């Protein structure tokens, strides 16, 4: 038996630059697509970052930086504070300092509000809550939301100079006070001196109260002070006259630093008492379950790799089996199957081509030679049956010669 060893050149496994670029092309395209979508979204929607409303340093539409800058241009020293201690430090001269209180979360308690009232003779309460009204403007009560433009229907200079003011905010009532815009009527320890910017039903967005500590102005039109609305109507005139009569203005916005107590409560302070024991019990149960499962599965076992048998040893083993069983025809059929498959590839036939189709194609290719008539070709690939080992070797050699002649015939000249 003749054994022919065919060697093929090993292929290069290191990826080339072109191959790497093709693999990365999808991810580069995906990244570019995401960047384009993000850029288009940003251009269409703009920046949507939230800003603190009526912040003295915010240039956003709902901030109050424009008002602060205009006051500073008018010679007013504006200081923004976020705690009562900072406000006390900024209001060194009560007679020459105005204080604007903007406490939308109602963080200050009565005692803190009373201390704030001692810091200035001119305190402006912007949309004050119930506690602030009771402490600093007795005789004034909240009366709900107010919208639309509000006319200056009183003789207070700040309102008459403004004429019309944007009314986005809240309205207030003077309790037990007459409907007149300048009443002078005593209410408790204070007297209401002006009710302006009326919206009907004795509801006003500006009420001024004179107390023993000075002037307290309740202003409900917070929208008029924002950057977006300060230039509309007479909003700027109203703000400058109310907040700029003195040399110093303290823009006070309370924060959690003003909350009474030892500070911001921690997560442990806010959690129920049973949380820690339950979490400890869950941890112990998890450890016990892990230990139990680990003991049940046993230790890790190193498993040996399966035996690796080379292809040449497998081929030799099958050949010996055929030889010991005198299975010459089976051995020849195995050689014929391989030869037919390779001849089909040489003849450019599909993998589904039958043996007859391969024979016809090979016969057509070798038709110009006398070495391979149709009868011999048919006998080598199909009909011949080896009766001895010598005939098996001869037919095997003829298969090799046939495959070589077909390869030579199809090779371009």
Q: With residue 383 as reference, give the H or E element that holds it.
A: none
- Note the pLDDT tens digit of each residue in 170-190: 999 988 644 434 444 444 467
Residue 28 is predicted with a pLDDT of 84
Give CA separation, 88 vs 15, 81, 102, 115, 257, in Å: 72, 10, 16, 9, 14
- Note the pLDDT tens digit of each residue in 387-407: 888 898 899 999 999 999 898
Give CA separation, 84 vs 93, 136, 239, 402, in Å: 15, 15, 23, 105
Residue 378 is predicted with a pLDDT of 87
- Note the pLDDT tens digit of each residue in 183-210: 444 444 678 889 999 988 899 999 999 9
Residue 281 is predicted with a pLDDT of 93
- Note the pLDDT tens digit of each residue in 87-132: 999 988 888 999 999 999 999 999 999 999 999 999 999 999 999 9
Give CA separation, 150 vs 110, 205, 213, 216, 233, in Å: 31, 8, 29, 21, 10
CA–CA dist 253, 99 (Å, integer): 10
DSSP notation for 290-312: HHHHHHHH-S--PPPPPPP--HH
- pTM of the complete model beyond 0.75: no
Pairing of strands 190-200, 185-187: antiparallel
Residue 207 is predicted with a pLDDT of 93
- Note the pLDDT tens digit of each residue in 310-367: 888 888 888 888 888 888 888 888 889 999 999 999 988 988 889 899 998 888 888 8
**Local structure of 8: helix, strand or coil:** coil
Using the predicted structure, report yes or no on whether residue 51 has a pLDDT greater than 90.
no
Specify whether the CB–CB gap between 77 and 249 falls below 8 A: yes
Residue 7 is predicted with a pLDDT of 39
Pairing of strands 203-211, 190-200: antiparallel
- Note the pLDDT tens digit of each residue in 4-30: 434 344 444 555 667 777 777 878 888
| Long-range contacts (CB closer than 8 Å, 24 or more residues apart) made by 256-265 | 256/107, 257/82, 257/83, 258/83, 258/84, 258/107, 258/108, 258/112, 259/107, 260/109, 260/112
What is the SS3 string spanning 110-155? HHHHHHHHCCCCEEEEECCCHHHHHHHCCCEEEEEEECCEEECCCC
| Mean pLDDT over the full length of the chain | 84
**Local structure of 213: helix, strand or coil:** coil
DSSP notation for 72-88: HHTT-EEEEESSHHHHH
Angle at 176 between CA 114 and CA 125, to 5 degrees: 35
Residue 25 is predicted with a pLDDT of 80
Residue 64 is predicted with a pLDDT of 92
Which residue intervals of 46-109 are DSSP H helices?
65-73, 84-90
CA–CA dist 216, 101 (Å, integer): 11
- Note the pLDDT tens digit of each residue in 240-268: 999 998 999 999 999 988 886 555 667 77
């Amino acid at each position: 038996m003749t054994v022919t060893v065919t060697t093929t050149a090993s292929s290069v496994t290191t990826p080339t630059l072109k191959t790497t670029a093709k693999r990365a092309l999808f991810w580069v395209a995906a990244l570019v697509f995401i960047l384009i979508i993000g850029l288009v979204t940003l251009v269409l929607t703009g920046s949507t970052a939230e800003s603190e409303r009526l912040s003295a340093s915010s240039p956003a539409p709902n901030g109050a930086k424009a008002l602060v800058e205009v006051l500073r241009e008018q010679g007013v020293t504006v200081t923004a504070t976020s705690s009562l201690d900072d406000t006390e430090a900024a209001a060194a001269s009560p007679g020459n300092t105005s204080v604007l209180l903007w406490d939308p979360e109602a963080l200050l308690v009565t005692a803190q509000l009373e201390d704030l009232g001692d810091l200035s003779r001119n305190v402006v309460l912007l949309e004050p809550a119930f506690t602030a009204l009771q402490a600093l403007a007795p005789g004034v009560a909240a009366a709900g939301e107010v919208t639309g433009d509000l006319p200056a229907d009183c003789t207070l200079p700040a309102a008459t100079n403004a004429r019309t003011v944007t009314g986005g905010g809240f309205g207030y009532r003077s309790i037990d006070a007459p409907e007149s815009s300048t009443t002078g009527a005593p209410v408790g320890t204070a007297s209401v001196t002006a009710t302006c910017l009326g919206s009907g039903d004795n509801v006003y967005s500006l009420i001024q109260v004179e107390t023993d500590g000075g002037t307290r102005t309740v202003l409900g039109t917070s929208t008029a002070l924002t950057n977006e609305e300060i230039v509309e109507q007479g909003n700027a005139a109203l703000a400058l006259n109310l907040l700029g009569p003195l040399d110093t203005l303290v823009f006070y916005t309370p924060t959690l630093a003003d909350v009474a107590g030892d500070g911001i409560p921690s997560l442990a302070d806010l959690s129920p008492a049973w949380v820690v024991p339950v979490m400890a019990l869950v941890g112990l149960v998890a450890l016990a379950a892990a230990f139990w499962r680990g003991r049940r599965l046993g230790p890790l076992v190193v498993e040996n790799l399966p035996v690796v048998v080379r292809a040449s040893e497998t081929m030799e083993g099958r050949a010996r089996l055929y030889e010991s069983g005198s299975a010459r025809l089976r051995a020849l059929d195995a050689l014929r199957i391989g030869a037919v498959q390779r001849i089909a590839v040489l003849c450019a036939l599909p993998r589904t081509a039958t043996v007859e189709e391969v024979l016809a194609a090979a016969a057509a290719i070798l038709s110009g030679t006398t070495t391979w008539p149709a009868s011999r070709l048919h006998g080598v690939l199909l009909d011949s049956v080896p009766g001895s080992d010598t005939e098996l070797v001869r037919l095997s050699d003829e298969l090799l010669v046939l495959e070589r002649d077909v390869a030579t015939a199809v090779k371009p000249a």
